[in-house]
């Protein structure tokens, strides 16, 4: 369970797009997140609408997409550039957990997730962290290096080699915010507190 945060969302951040063909579900969820938690959430009910919003000049802060909408096999979070993408599912399963742990998505929520928990998880993901309830996941707590996305694996290897954040940015042509977010994810996934511990775990082949 993540810590609950009652502060309003950053107005400078793009909106949370909740994508699902189930219009009544996403409209109700977006309205509740807006009214009760101050999160700028907007419903998206068609592929055409999603495409228009992705192509618009204003970047979304987070895309929460129904796994039934496109499917984990046809949607990779990387297709959205630096916009984090999370899954909205009917129920938790190993496939969903694996999709989060290998870096394709920044988290997963089920449609039965309590609103208070969903709001806290969304704020966590907006901050660059990964959200996956431990009791929802049957995948290993620490993913193998080969199961990670190419970008995340490259960052881990460079940390193990002693590179600074700035050096990682330059070598991989990534923004400072994206590098920092990926490092926070790696620390969380490997259960370590800092870069030094992460580098040691990485070199040890964990």
Q: How far is Cα 49 from Cα 31, in angstroms, rounded to an integer?
A: 18
Separation of CA 133 from chain center? 13
pLDDT in tens, the chain (206 residues): 232 333 344 445 689 999 988 888 889 889 999 998 899 999 998 878 887 877 776 778 899 988 877 554 444 444 455 678 888 888 877 777 777 766 778 888 988 888 888 999 999 888 877 887 754 444 444 455 545 678 888 899 999 999 999 999 999 988 887 788 788 878 877 878 888 888 888 887 65
Residue-level pLDDT at 80: 56
- The candidate with the shortest Cα–Cα distance to 106, out of 89, 90, 83, is 83
Residue-level pLDDT at 73: 44
Write down which residue in 136, 156, 182 finishes a domain: 136
Yes or no: say if 93 and 48 are a contact pair by the CB < 8 Å rule: no
89 and 175 part of one domain: no
Percent of the chain that is helix, strand, coil (3-state, to 5): 50, 10, 40
Strand spans (E) along 56-197: 62-66, 85-89, 108-110
Number of folded domains in the chain? Answer: 2
**Residue 24 maps to which CATH number?**
3.40.50.2300
**Residue 154 maps to which CATH number?**
1.10.10.10
Paired with 44 in beta bridges are 19
Write down which residue in 79, 107, 136 finishes a domain: 136
Residue-level pLDDT at 206: 52
Q: How far apart are the first and last CA of the chain?
A: 25
33 and 128 part of one domain: yes
72 and 104 part of one domain: yes
Residue-level pLDDT at 102: 67
pTM of the model: 0.62
Token match 């089920």: residue? 110
98 and 158 part of one domain: no
């Amino acid at each position: 369970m993540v810590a609950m945060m009652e502060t309003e969302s950053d107005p400078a951040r793009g909106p949370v797009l909740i994508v699902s063909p189930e219009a009544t579900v996403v409209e109700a969820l977006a309205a509740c997140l807006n009214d009760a938690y101050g999160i700028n959430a907007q419903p998206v009910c068609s592929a055409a609408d999603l495409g228009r919003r992705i192509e618009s000049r204003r970047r979304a802060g987070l895309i929460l997409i129904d796994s039934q909408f496109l499917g984990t096999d046809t949607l990779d979070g990387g297709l959205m550039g630096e916009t984090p993408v999370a899954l909205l599912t009917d129920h938790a399963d190993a496939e969903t957990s694996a999709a989060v742990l290998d870096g394709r998505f920044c988290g997963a929520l089920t449609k039965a997730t309590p609103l208070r928990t969903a709001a806290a998880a969304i704020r966590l993901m907006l901050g660059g962290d990964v959200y996956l309830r431990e009791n929802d996941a049957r995948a290993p707590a620490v993913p193998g290096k080969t199961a990670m996305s190419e970008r995340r694996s490259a960052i881990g290897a460079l940390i193990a080699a002693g590179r600074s954040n700035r050096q990682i940015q330059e070598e991989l042509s990534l923004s400072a915010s994206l590098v920092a977010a990926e490092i926070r994810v790696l620390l969380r996934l490997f259960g370590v507190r800092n870069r030094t511990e992460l580098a040691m775990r990485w070199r040890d082949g964990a």
